[in-house]
Structure 1
Amino acid sequence: MGRRRPRTGDDWKVLAQACTELLEAVPDLVDEHLRELHAYDPAYGRILPYDQHWHEAHTAMRIGIEMISAPRDTPRRDLEHAEEMGRRRAEQGMPLELVVHAYRHAGHLVWDALIEGAQTRTSHLAALMQSATMVWSAVDAQADTASEAYRATEHELRRRTDEQLQALLDALLQGQRAPEVVARAAAALDLPEQGRYAVVVLRHDRREPPEPFHRQVQGTGVRFLWRMRADCEVGVVALAADTGLDALSDLLDGRCPGPGGISPVVTGLAELGRARRLAELALRTCPPGTRQIVRLDRRIAGALVVSQPEMAGLLVSDVLGGLLGLDPADRAVLLETLDAWLDCEGSAGRAAARLYCHRNTVFNRLRRLEQLTSRSLSRPRDLTEMTLALDAFRLTTAGGGPTT
């Protein structure tokens, strides 16, 4: 904050006298100060009412002049006032550059006035020049103190704002639908109450520290708002009119570590709670160990299974009961074959290519499955039951443990 020279000797007496005489001119200096500040940047006038600004500048300038020549052990009232002004200007939203400029401009005015008052007295002018370093050290200390207080207040305001925004976003994701809550959230988050939204839920790998996904994901036609939680990250996605879930899936794929779930599109902020639940349901359809990010609208059957665990268990025992007594490796081969055959739309040849075996091997395994399940893959109802049972086996406790 700058060391002050000893308050003794002729130099100090001259400075003290000059400061005392200058106090009478403070109102005129403040008028000139505000006039030149407003000419430098009209923002001063937009942010502060003139009368308030004038009063605060008058107080600051008077205290500053008094402290220039005050005894060395006098408490630094100028720095206390600068700290208060720094906090206040941050709360008022005045840019820090303008705050610092105001302090330095006031310092120039005071110094020029001191020099002008000593022009007719050569000995006084020489004495004042000896005090220049001390005067400008005081001005620098005031500007630095105001800046530090400004930055600390700005940081605290930003933290409070972030907490408020997160609380509003959490309220929407928890299913708050009250009109006043939705309206406040829309205004604070700068989002339309009615619009196209989706929710993404990404589960963290508990073995690794979570990465902030929002730093990696950007795209045209989408806007992400992310909320970090203990074991997952939830993203609210505002979609442009011409942006669909295909574009969102492509954007997330390869940029975010899975597993993850994407909800269907909803049409307003009041629907985000439902969208979050549906995204979590989509996430639950990801088998253990997968890194996929899946859409609920493409996992409806699996979602039905995981949403009814008791019925899923009954489905596994009823449909796949004949496989449960097999050697685990043998059972895995049969279920893998069924899965490949379903993915290949019932083509034994394509399934064989995927499994690196002969197509007759695929047929033999499918026939064995039909025998063990007492169901026929050629009958639609039986095929539906086997497909659901396969999902249930892989996604529930019967398939190796819960996936949530």
Structure 2
Amino acid sequence: MNDEPALRRELALTLLGDLDNLIERLADDICAHSSRYASGTPVTHEDLHRTLRGNMEIALREFGRIPDGERLFEAVAAENGRLRAEQDMPLATVLQAYRRGGRVLWQAMADWMRDRSPDQQHMVGDMAGAVWETIDRFSSAMADAYRLRMLELQHREASRRGALFEALLDGRAGDPAVAGAAATALGVPRQDRYAVVVIAQDAHDAVSPPDPAPALEGWGLWSFWRPRADTVAGLVRLRAADPAELAEALRGQRVGRAGISPPFGELAAAAQGLRLAQRALDTLPPRSGEVASLDDRLVHAALGAEPEIAERLTVRYLDGVLDSGAERDVLLGTLRTWLDSGCSASGTAARMFCHRNTILNRIGRVAELTGWPADSGEARLGWALALRALELDH
């Protein structure tokens, strides 16, 4: 006759009757093997004892098949898992505590079994399997609930961080409460050295928006990114870095066309940073893949803000060259290089790999077609501005 069910019930009732001592042994063993539990943070010692009592009572009732009409086995395990997730206790640490609990429980059962008859002691193997099956079921239900709750918490936190980031970009950080909440959620100080980056999602780009954060971390740059309409906006903590380093890092990741704001010192200025980064982006040709900071494109940004003025500049200073047919591209290229070389014919010739007299002839031809003398300061300024206005004519 198999009296294992009766023996299991007797064993469970015996241990339930001495539950206080068993809980103390459990708590001491868990704290001896986990500095997190021993510290009392985030799980207090009172919380640990209370949870152990509930877990052990339900586990012993399950093992002994003693009905408990008030609580279900899986429900208690799931409640524990959700609680530890909310306390941000590492799942590995919690599972280790469950394993330690299983060892202590089995030791208490083995001690009790030593005083049983030889026939009953033959059931030790089956009893051990039942104990660990109970512990495994409890651990599995707890871990499933833990992971689900952690996903919920992470989604909630991500949504909160995203909402506060949008508040920064929308200009609501003038409210100190909003700025403080955003700084806390993002994990950065309210005052530091920041820049905003706007990355265009051009039609040919990948469907998924870029996430430069991991690569920028390699440069020692913290960042936070969010999609916005046809762009991706990012807040970058520059610290001692400058926008040129940031631009180089972004180019290395091939994020596509991107504009970078000038540095600013407070999160409250992020909305202005967004506007200026967008201005820098607007100066770059679509699908060019270029990355530029506003300070490197100030003339382009100023001209882009006044398209009628930009158009008049090209007409007034370059109209004849633009209508010169086959000469156009050579003359424009030579003029651009000549201006960038400080209006030096020799310097331009070296850069373009041609004779100095060739440069002089071409600049003379520009002067002839435009009606402006090459030695005129106004002509040189007008030509330089008109050439940049042409770059905006996408």
TM-score (norm 1): 0.86
**1:66 CA drift (Å):** 0.8
> Which residue pairs with 2:170 in the alignment?
174
> Which residue pairs with 1:134 in the alignment?
130
Whole-angstrom distance in 2 between the partners of 1:211 and 1:296: 21
- The partner residue of 1:109 within 95, 99, 104 is 104
**1:304 CA drift (Å):** 0.5
Q: Could you tell me which amino acid in structure 2 is paired with residue 104 of structure 1? A: R
| 1:157-306 alignment, distance < 5 Å | 157-176=153-172, 177-209=174-206, 210-219=209-218, 222-229=221-228, 231-241=230-240, 243-288=241-286, 290-306=288-304
Number of residue pairs aligned between Structure 1 and Structure 2: 387
> Which residue pairs with 1:4 in the alignment?
none
| 1:46-195 alignment, distance < 5 Å | 46-70=41-65, 77-122=72-117, 123-176=119-172, 177-195=174-192
> Which residue pairs with 1:319 in the alignment?
317
> Which residue pairs with 1:381 in the alignment?
378
**1:56 CA drift (Å):** 2.3
Whole-angstrom distance in 2 between the partners of 1:223 and 1:56: 39
Which range moved further: 61-70 or 361-370? 361-370
> Which residue pairs with 1:3 in the alignment?
none
**What's the C-alpha RMSD, in Å, of the aligned pairs?**
2.8
Relative distance call for 1:197 and 1:9 in structure 2 (3 A) is same
**1:294 CA drift (Å):** 2.0
Unaligned runs of 5+ in 2: none
**1:248 CA drift (Å):** 3.5
Q: Could you tell me which amino acid in structure 2 is paired with residue 207 of structure 1? A: H
Q: Could you tell me which amino acid in structure 1 is paired with residue 271 of structure 2? A: G
Whole-angstrom distance in 2 between the partners of 1:93 and 1:137: 27
> Which residue pairs with 1:5 in the alignment?
none
Helix, strand or coil at the partner of 1:217: helix
2:384 maps to 1:351: no
Q: Is the 8 A contact 1:217 1:255 kept in 2?
A: no
- The partner residue of 1:20 within 8, 13, 38 is 13
2:27 maps to 1:34: yes
Relative distance call for 1:182 and 1:140 in structure 2 (3 A) is same
**1:91 CA drift (Å):** 0.5
**1:394 CA drift (Å):** 2.0
- The partner residue of 1:11 within 4, 7, 16 is 4
> Which residue pairs with 2:388 in the alignment?
391
Unaligned runs of 5+ in 1: 1-7
Helix, strand or coil at the partner of 2:122: helix
TM-score (norm 2): 0.87
Q: Is the 8 A contact 2:317 2:379 kept in 1?
A: no
Whole-angstrom distance in 1 between the partners of 2:359 and 2:201: 37
2:363 maps to 1:363: no
- Aligned residues with identical type, % of pairs: 34
**1:188 CA drift (Å):** 2.0
Helix, strand or coil at the partner of 1:18: helix
